[in-house]
């Protein structure tokens, strides 16, 4: 697998992940080519604030996508509050209000699993700190399709339930601290 082969980066996180995602977006190369999709657990009825907060730190444009929006390089797409986000075969985003999964909407598992299905070995999945098991099976799906998987080192997590759940299911390609995740992403094309 060549780093230049990645077509999508999907990052999932929950409790404690805002600071990690902020650090990643503040330190990533400004010309980062691969679309980044963020699926973070959020409050259902708070529709604003997260994009603005991430945008203040990010060197790349951060937005909440509309249904059927086409992915573009050098953009960060944040799953909207109370919507599942799926990646589609035609390179667009699909939003859904289906029932919660793993007590979550958006569900990290749904987003990661759709990335595995669409991008297969060209998907890069990253699972960060969090307080439940959402994301573990989605990461396993990416690994099963020969995609590349990174799990945040549980020792660096505010709450390590999410990464530990993934580590019980499969062996990721890398287990990294937030700083090492940034270093890895900056080895990718820009």
pLDDT tens for each residue of the chain, 190 residues long = 444 589 999 999 998 899 999 999 999 999 999 999 999 998 666 566 788 889 998 999 999 999 999 999 999 999 999 999 999 999 999 999 999 888 789 999 999 999 999 999 999 999 999 999 999 999 999 999 999 999 999 999 999 999 999 999 999 999 999 999 999 999 997 7
**14 is a catalytic site residue:** yes
Q: What residue numbers bound the domain in which 45 lies?
A: 3-185
Asked if residue 108 belongs to a domain, the reply is yes
Asked if residue 190 belongs to a domain, the reply is no
CB 138 within 8 A of CB 118: no
Asked if residue 109 belongs to a domain, the reply is yes
- Choice among 14, 17, 114, 165 that is catalytic: 14
* Cα–Cα distance, 189 to 116 (Å, whole number): 21
* Cα–Cα distance, 94 to 107 (Å, whole number): 13
Percent of the chain surpassing pLDDT 90: 82
- Choice among 58, 109, 134, 165 that is catalytic: 134
Give pTM, 2 decimals. 0.95
Asked if residue 112 belongs to a domain, the reply is yes
Residue 145: which residues within 8 A CB-CB, separation 6 or more?
116, 117, 119, 120, 121, 123
| Residue 80 phi, psi dihedral angles, 5° rounding | -65, 155
**41 is a catalytic site residue:** yes
Asked if residue 82 belongs to a domain, the reply is yes
Question: Which CATH number do you get for residue 133?
Answer: 3.40.50.180
Q: How many domains does the chain have?
A: 1
């Amino acid at each position: 697998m060549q780093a230049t082969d990645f077509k999508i980066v999907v990052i999932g996180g929950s409790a404690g992940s805002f600071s990690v995602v902020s650090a990643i977006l503040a330190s990533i190369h400004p010309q980062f080519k691969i679309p980044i999709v963020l699926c973070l657990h959020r409050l259902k009825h708070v529709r604003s604030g997260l994009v603005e907060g991430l945008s203040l730190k990010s060197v790349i444009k951060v937005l909440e996508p509309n249904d059927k929006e086409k992915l573009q390089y050098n953009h960060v797409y944040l799953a909207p509050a109370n919507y599942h986000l799926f990646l589609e075969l035609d390179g667009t985003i699909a939003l859904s209000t289906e029932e919660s999964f793993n007590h979550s909407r958006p569900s990290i598992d749904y987003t990661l699993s759709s990335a595995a299905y669409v991008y297969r070995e060209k998907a890069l999945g990253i699972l960060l700190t969090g307080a439940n098991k959402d994301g573990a099976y989605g990461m396993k799906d990416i690994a099963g399709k020969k995609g590349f998987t990174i799990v945040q080192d549980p020792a660096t997590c505010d709450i390590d339930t999410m990464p530990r759940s993934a580590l019980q299911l499969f062996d990721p390609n890398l287990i990294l601290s937030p700083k090492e995740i940034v270093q890895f992403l900056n080895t990718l094309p820009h």
